[in-house]
Chains A and B, each alone.
Chain A
Amino acid sequence: MADTGENFAAFNSRALVEMVGGVTDEALKVTKIKQFLSVLAGRFFNWAGRKSLFTLHLGIKCCAIEMAAAATPRFDGDRFGVLFRSSPRQSDVLLVNGPISKKFADKIVRLWEQMPEPKYCIAMGECAISGGPYFQSYNILEGVDTVIPVDVYIPGCPPRPEALIDGFGLLREKIIRIGGAPSSGRDSEKPIIVGDE
């Protein structure tokens, strides 16, 4: 035993992990297994996550009432796995359902940044897409996609709850199609517009 304070009896576990991890990492990279594993893991998480999209409980304006109606017995979004969470840290989808004013712009960007990856954004209703009937206003941004990247647009003023559930369905298809980590494929994927086929 040396009396320099170093403990030789048990290897320092962090150094062990780093050393072993570094060796394994190099080995996997050479054989391309690492790339294969990350794609497989990404696809697995996408397959698992698409059926359980936790949506942030954010109600800005009228479309929020249709969002609430989509959670109620007649339309029942819960059978598609759409559940509303109060905290952005626990949600996957940011459903923007109203016009974004200058006062709220930095707060919605903050909510978006608080959400952990993988995260998606749905712009619901005309006000979130392009400013809607208030596109001429001095206080409303012309669409939420001026500050946040949007995956699915759902037109309507307000869109019916069936349209909202259809939008979630198209988001599910998009998640499967992107593969890998979602944010890497975001730039090359064009956003989907509901009703555009």
Chain B
Amino acid sequence: MAQMWITMGPQHPMTHGLWTLRVKVDGETVIDTEAELGYIHRGVEKICEARDFTQVTPYCDRLCYVSAMTWANSYIYAAEDLLEADVPERAEYIRLISAELQRLASHLMWLGAFGPDIGNLTLMTWCMRDREMFLDLLQELGGSRMHYNYPRIGGVKRDIPIGFADRMIAKVKLFEKRIEEYEMMLDESTIWLVRLQGVGYCNAEEMVEAGVSGPNVRAAGVNYDVRWAHPYSVYDEVDWEPAVEKPTSVKGADCYDRYRVRIEEMRQSCRMVLDAIEKIPGGKNTNYASGDEMIYTKAPTRAPEGATGFSNYECTRGASQFYIEGGGEGRGKKPYRLSIRSPMFITIPFVAKTMIGYKVADIPAIMGSFDPCIGETDR
């Protein structure tokens, strides 16, 4: 049969971002792939060498734009390690609530983009409609729909507004019923099941060897989550369980498992948020002024040469890490080197190799089920 290379080029509705996937096909079967990244490489690591530590936070929002709050939090923990800042407990609760709300919004965006790949256009409208609910809540906290610039080194910028707790509880409870509607539509749909089950097997050890983390690995049956393995916020005081999915075959998890693990994660995030808002110290209906010691501790602004900071954080798509070396320009006011570890940078070449052996029509299903976000890949 005819063998040829097909370029699924930078502008392609499947790719969810700008990257090229070149596939070598023999008829309909994929026999080799090559991934090419770097179309939106902005040199953030170099730009941040000329920014103060507080000025770096908006850049981290824009790394993975779909889940901006988790990346900003990830950088803030690394900066707190470098500058040795303390964080009050109420601020940690607020960070947990904002990160979990962002995780809900991000998984909904994923589902809303994944559905049309499989052919289910209803999902796009349903998921984006529900995502607007959480974007409204995050807008109350941060001021903008997508790039909030909300956490600060030593706390958060603003306290939760009065009435936020009631609005959030109402919306989250409504959303828990909506998850059941999604499952009703998808788990009984033959097309959905046929296109996702049996496609894209990856087993846990290969994935971890390659550096894949997060829900993609939890879909293969192994419960590893940075939130309990290297604990950072108040996750141990909040009622939750890591979402883990049993793999369907000895070859590992297929696309259907990865979809189920994210639905389960959405349920756990709802549970976490409802529990955290009840347990928040200082009460859920009080609003402290900005800069109050309940939500913010003034942190040092200079880092001496030789100091380093590292953070390991569970972002929506995997484990994101920041490594900052101090002693930069301005006698230590700016970082000397800021290094960002993106989970998707490793996952995309790995997934490109997993596609070998499947049909061309399976490519969007496999790629979409790993939830790529190119903003964090080409930083």
Contact = CB atoms under 8 A, between A and B. Distances in A.
**Do chains A and B directly touch (beta carbons under 8 Å) in the complex?**
yes
Contacts, number: 94
Query: What does DSSP make chain A's interface, helix, strand, loop or mixed?
Result: loop
Contacts of A88: 11
A57 B13 contact: yes
Given A74-B132, A99-B42, A134-B42, A58 B11 contact: yes
A114 B166 CA distance: 52
A137 B42 contact: yes
B146 interface: yes
Interface residues of B, number: 35
A158 B146 contact: yes
Interface stretch (B122-130, B297-305, B330-338, B342-350): B122-130
A39 interface: no
Interface in A4-39: none
Chain A: interface residue count, which band?
A: 20 to 34
Interface string A54-74: 001111111001101100111
B345 to A, nearest CB: 16
Contacts of B9: 107
B65 interface: yes
A157 interface: yes
B211 interface: no
Contacts of B113: 68
A136 B39 CA distance: 17
Nearest to A111: B11
Contacts of A195: none
B47 interface: yes
A73 B128 contact: yes
Contact of A59 (B16, B47, B58, B129): B16
A72 B146 contact: no
B40 interface: yes
A61 to B, nearest CB: 6
B42 A101 contact: yes
Given A72-B129, A104-B18, A134-B42, A65 B147 contact: no
Interface of B: 9-13, 16-18, 38-44, 46-47, 50, 58-59, 62, 65-66, 109, 112-113, 124-125, 128-129, 132, 145-147, 375
The 9 residue pairs across chains A and B that have the minimum distance between CB atoms: A72-B128, A62-B65, A137-B43, A134-B42, A104-B39, A73-B129, A74-B132, A58-B11, A86-B13
Interface of A: 56-62, 65-66, 68-69, 72-74, 86, 88, 98-99, 101, 103-104, 107, 111, 133-134, 136-140, 157-158, 160
29 contacts: A56-B11, A61-B40, A62-B65, A65-B65, A65-B66, A66-B145, A68-B113, A68-B128, A72-B112, A72-B125, A72-B128, A72-B129, A74-B129, A101-B40, A101-B41, A104-B10, A104-B39, A104-B40, A107-B9, A107-B11, A107-B39, A133-B47, A134-B42, A137-B43, A137-B46, A139-B42, A140-B43, A157-B147, A158-B146
Given A58-B11, A101-B41, 8 more contacts: A59-B17, A60-B40, A62-B147, A62-B375, A86-B12, A98-B40, A101-B40, A140-B43
